[in-house]
């Protein structure tokens, strides 16, 4: 297959068209929401982060839609408009779930965005890349633990697919944008690392706030066993890495894909395996 030059006009047309053509139409209200038994309902309601998820999706829609009028290129704008529609629909999907299953979570006031909306959009984009990568692993763990009926995970899988499309679009958008500005690969990579650093520190801040909010107890006592029985950090990284690769296979190989996190994870996995082998050798020798 012909390789498209990243950052070219052709590349721009290609990644925007790909994004627009893979749009799926659905209404969160009419999705096949399952009836949950009392036990599953308790589990769903005990998840402590629905409020945060709801806010994150509302915020995503607000940022994308605020940035939209500043996008001058017509095809890029068409794609970003669609992302705005999808993020707003994610927020609706979470709201429908909250109402349907009586989850204790409400809409939070929306923070003001910085004047530089493009930087806000870029910060948000790298944040999505980080969230999606960790989310791939978490989603697999949750699904395997049969924490909720499979039909519920099928609904969330639609959302995961759209998030994967968003990050693929974003990585291509960044490559095109940087090329327009004449930035070189080294600058681009340094810049990504810097933005990932900001995304990671926001995520840690959120986790810390979450722990303070419920003292880290509620969830730990009632629910964590589902996830944490036999939890291993190495396994989690492996799940993120593999799920990322599996989900990325759904995309045209001519599109750029997020590379930094998978390669850091791949490196860590090689380290874990080496360490494991050493430990086994030491144990065998003892
Ligand atoms: Fe979203
Ligand atoms: Fe998204």
- Is the predicted pLDDT of residue 120 greater than 50, yes or no? yes
- Is the predicted pLDDT of residue 183 greater than 80, yes or no? no
* pLDDT value, residue 220: 46
The mean pLDDT value for 163-178 works out to 95
Q: CA 163, 167, 168: angle at the middle one, nearest 5?
A: 115
Collect residues with CB below 5 Å from ion ligand 2.
163, 166
Per the CB < 8 A criterion, the answer to whether 137 and 243 are in contact is yes
Distance between Cα 150 and ligand 2 center (Å): 23
| Structure tokens, 126 | 């790298």
The mean pLDDT value for 80-106 works out to 97
Q: CA 155, 43, 108: angle at the middle one, nearest 5?
A: 70
How many other CB atoms sit within 10 Å of the CB of residue 177? 17
Convert the pLDDT of each residue in 196-247 to its tens digit: 777 777 776 766 665 565 444 444 444 555 555 556 788 888 999 999 999 9
Distance between Cα 56 and ligand 1 center (Å): 8
Note the ligand closest to the C-alpha atom of 80. Answer: 2
Distance between Cα 159 and ligand 1 center (Å): 7
Note the ligand closest to the C-alpha atom of 83. Answer: 2
Q: What is the pTM of this model?
A: 0.86
Distance between Cα 276 and ligand 2 center (Å): 36
Q: Using pLDDT thresholds of 50, 70 and 90, give the confidence band for residue 268.
A: confident
* pLDDT value, residue 40: 93
Per DSSP, the residues of the chain read -PPPPTTSHHHHHHHHHHHHHT-----GGGS-PPP--HHHHHHHHH-TTHHHHHHHHHHHHHHHHHHGGG--SHHHHHHHHHHHHHHHHHHHHHHHHHHHTT-S--PPPPPPPPS-HHHHHHHHHHHHHHHHHHHHHHHHHHHHTT-S-HHHHHHHHHHHHHHHHHHHHHHHHHHHHHHHTT--HHHHHHHHHHHHHHHHHHHHHHHHHHHHHHTTTHHHHHTHHHHHTT--HHHHHHHHHHHHHHHHTTS-TTS----HHHHHHHHHHHHHHHHHHHHHHHHHH-
* pLDDT value, residue 249: 95
Q: Where is mean pLDDT largest: 37-46, 205-214, 259-268?
A: 37-46
Which has the higher per-residue pLDDT, 155 or 259?
A: 155
Which has the higher per-residue pLDDT, 147 or 164?
A: 164
Q: Which residues contact 69 (CB under 8 A, 6 or more apart)?
A: none
CA atoms within 13 A on the CB side of 284: 6
Tokens 């959009």 belong to which residue? 121
């Amino acid at each position: 297959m012909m390789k498209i030059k990243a950052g070219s006009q052709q590349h721009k047309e290609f990644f925007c068209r790909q994004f627009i053509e893979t749009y799926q139409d659905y209404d969160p209200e009419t999705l096949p929401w399952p009836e949950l038994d009392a036990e599953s309902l308790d589990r769903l309601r005990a998840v402590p982060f629905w409020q945060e998820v709801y806010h994150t999706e509302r915020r995503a829609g607000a940022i994308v839609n605020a940035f939209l009028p500043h996008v001058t290129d017509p095809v890029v704008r068409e794609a970003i408009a669609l992302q705005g529609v999808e993020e707003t629909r994610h927020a609706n999907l979470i709201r429908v779930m909250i109402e349907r299953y009586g989850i204790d979570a409400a809409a939070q006031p929306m923070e003001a965005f910085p004047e530089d909306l493009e930087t806000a959009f870029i910060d948000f984009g790298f944040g999505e890349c980080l969230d999606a990568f960790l989310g791939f692993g978490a989603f697999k763990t949750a699904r395997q633990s049969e924490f909720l009926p499979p039909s519920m995970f099928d609904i969330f899988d639609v959302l995961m697919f759209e998030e994967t499309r968003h990050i693929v679009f974003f990585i291509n958008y960044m490559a095109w944008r940087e090329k327009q500005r004449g930035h070189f690969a080294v600058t681009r990579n340094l810049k990504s690392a810097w933005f990932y650093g900001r995304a990671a520190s926001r995520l840690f801040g959120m986790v810390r706030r979450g722990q303070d909010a419920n003292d880290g107890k509620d969830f730990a006592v009632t629910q964590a066993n589902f996830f944490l029985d036999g939890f291993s950090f190495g396994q989690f990284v492996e799940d993120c890495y593999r799920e990322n690769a599996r989900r990325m296979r759904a995309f045209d190989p001519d599109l750029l894909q997020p590379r930094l996190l998978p390669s850091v994870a791949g490196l860590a996995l090689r380290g874990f395996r080496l360490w494991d082998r050493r430990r086994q050798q030491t144990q065998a020798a003892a």
